[in-house]
């Protein structure tokens, strides 16, 4: 969006040269005309201040639009100059609360359209901070606004219950709460995935939705036959030939119409799912980490697409345990004084990802002696259910190491890594 706004020729100047000029002029008066004439960005000016506070770099813009330089945003005087902006975002409008450093508030509501987004961006300063709850269109809003401010925070609504449990639930009150907690730096941030991983996550979720709808239709067909005392196997209904060869002689005309419509819809969904599978396989092959995951026995194209879309940038996770907590396959912990209770897994996060991981684990234990022996040992003590979850967490550790180190397995059954993809300095 910034590229569509007015851009001045002074942008072509090298930023290092600008910084060098600024450092040579430690204490000079603020003169915007002189700034421009000396080929400095207006938001690169120095505030007149005592020598004891030197050096200081300010990105408080005199005139908008100007793009801040990443990496040179310091905190000096920001408590006075900057604003904390909470945004209550909807599909057709957004309400903001602008909380200044001196404690004053300003509330305003904008329609959610390009012209009003531009008007909102013109009111921002490069030192401002903006917070918005994660919603369906928060990624679009972030892409439009992020380059105009110093910091953009996307809030995790599941961990920020102040708004949901408020007894005064209004747009202005929600925006005020976001601005207040942003000023205290107490907002739980959610992970920001790249456009590639967002698109991959969307298409895999769409495929899962179509599969579930097809299953409901096939269950309906099975129920109609069962109602007339005709027993057919559900597995038989998964084939196109079997659906087209269904015998409808025992049904009434109305039931025949219902059965025909349900069958045709199931066939149409099957064709759509096959089309999605082809595109998913072609798209995920271009995503970083695909070769490493598919070299693990039990992980195919669709499973790799689901796992990669959920993990995103593996560098966001410091350890494999943090990734397991993100997947929701770690036990709940309730600890108080001398009481320490460990319950069932948290099941936080995407259900499709956990299901995919468990399905991959069921296949992997057939090929990997290491995973199979671990599964059998836990199964003997705790049962098959807990054993497969524990083995899934073990497989997730292998997935984490594979993505982190760029491994590609030459032979997963013997845990042999291809030498030309082995990361220098890593142990086998």
User: pLDDT tens digit string along 287-319?
Assistant: 999 999 999 999 999 999 999 999 999 999 999
- Give just the sign of the alpha carbon dihedral 235, 239, 243, 247: negative
CATH class of 78-183: alpha beta
Separation of alpha carbons 132 and 115, rounded Å: 20
Could you tell me if 108 and 96 are in contact, meaning their C-beta atoms sit under 8 angstroms apart?
A: yes
Instruction: Give the CA angle between residues 94, 99, 100 to the nearest 5°.
Output: 140
Given a cut of 50, the residues of the chain with pLDDT beneath it are: 1-76, 78-79, 422-428
CB 196 within 8 Å of CB 307: no
Provide the token pair at 185: 């730096």
Structure tokens at 98: 């602008």
Taking the C-alpha atoms of residue 43 and residue 254, their distance in angstroms, rounded to an integer, is 74
- Domain range list for the chain: 2-53, 78-183, 195-284, 290-421
The CA angle 158-159-160, to the nearest 5 degrees, is: 95
Which residues does 104 contact at the CB level (< 8 Å), separation at least 6?
none
Sign of the four-CA dihedral 197, 202, 207, 212: positive
Contact 20, 52 (CB under 8 A): no
User: Residue 420: what pLDDT?
Assistant: 62
Q: Residues 122-158: pLDDT tens digits?
A: 999 999 999 999 999 999 999 999 999 999 999 999 8
H/E run at residue 89 = strand 83-89
Q: What is the DSSP string of 12-47?
A: GS-HHHHHHHHHH--S----HHHHHHTT--GGGPPP
d(CA 282, CA 25): 56
**What's the number of CA atoms in the CB half-sphere (13 Å) around residue 203?**
23
- Identify the pLDDT of residue 72: 41
Q: Taking the model in full, what pTM does it have?
A: 0.75
Phi/psi for 143 (5° steps) reads -60, -30
User: How many Å from the N-terminal Cα to the C-terminal Cα in the chain?
Assistant: 48
> According to the model, what pLDDT value does residue 50 have?
43
H or E segment and range at residue 88: strand 83-89
Cα–Cα distance between 409 and 417 in angstroms, integer? 4
Interacting residues of 273 by C-beta distance below 8 A, sequence separation 6+: 207, 210, 211, 214
Query: How confident is the model at residue 264, as a pLDDT?
Result: 95
């Amino acid at each position: 969006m910034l590229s569509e706004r007015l851009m001045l020729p002074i942008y072509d100047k090298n930023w290092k040269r600008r910084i060098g000029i600024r450092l040579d002029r430690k204490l000079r008066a603020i003169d915007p005309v002189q700034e421009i004439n000396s080929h400095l960005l207006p938001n690169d000016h120095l505030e007149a201040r005592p020598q004891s506070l030197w050096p200081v770099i300010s990105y408080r813009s005199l005139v908008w639009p100007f793009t801040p330089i990443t990496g040179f945003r310091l905190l000096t005087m920001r408590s006075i100059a900057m604003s904390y902006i909470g945004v209550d975002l909807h599909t057709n409008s957004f309400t903001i609360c602008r909380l200044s450093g001196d404690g004053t508030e300003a509330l305003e509501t904008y329609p959610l359209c390009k012209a009003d987004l531009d008007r909102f961006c013109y009111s921002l300063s490069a030192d401002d901070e903006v917070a918005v709850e994660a919603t369906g269109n928060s990624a679009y809003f972030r892409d439009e606004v992020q380059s105009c401010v110093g910091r953009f925070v996307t809030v995790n609504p599941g961990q920020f219950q102040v708004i949901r449990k408020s007894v005064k639930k209004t747009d202005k009150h929600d925006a005020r709460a976001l601005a207040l907690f942003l000023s205290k730096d107490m907002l739980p941030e959610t992970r920001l995935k790249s456009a590639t991983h967002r698109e991959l996550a969307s298409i895999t979720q769409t495929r899962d939705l179509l599969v579930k709808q097809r299953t409901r239709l096939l269950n309906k067909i099975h129920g109609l036959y069962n109602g007339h005392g005709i027993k057919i196997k559900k597995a038989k209904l998964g084939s196109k030939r079997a659906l087209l060869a269904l015998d409808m002689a025992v049904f009434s005309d109305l039931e025949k119409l219902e059965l025909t419509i349900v069958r045709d819809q199931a066939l149409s969904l099957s064709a759509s799912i096959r089309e999605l599978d082809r595109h998913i396989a072609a798209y995920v092959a271009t995503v970083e980490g695909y070769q490493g995951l598919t070299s693990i026995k039990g992980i195919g194209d669709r499973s790799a697409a689901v796992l990669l879309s959920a993990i995103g940038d593996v560098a966001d996770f410091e350890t494999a345990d943090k990734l397991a907590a993100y997947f929701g396959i770690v036990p709940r912990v309730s600890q108080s004084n001398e009481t320490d209770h460990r319950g069932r897994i948290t099941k936080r996060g995407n259900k499709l990802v956990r299901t995919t991981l468990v399905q991959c684990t069921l296949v992997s234990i057939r090929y990997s002696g290491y995973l199979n022996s671990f599964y059998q040992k836990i199964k003997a003590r705790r049962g098959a259910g807990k054993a497969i979850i524990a083995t899934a967490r073990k497989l997730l550790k292998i997935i984490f190491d594979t993505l982190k180190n760029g491994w590609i397995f030459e032979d997963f059954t013997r845990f042999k890594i291809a030498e030309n993809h082995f990361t220098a300095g890593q142990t086998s």
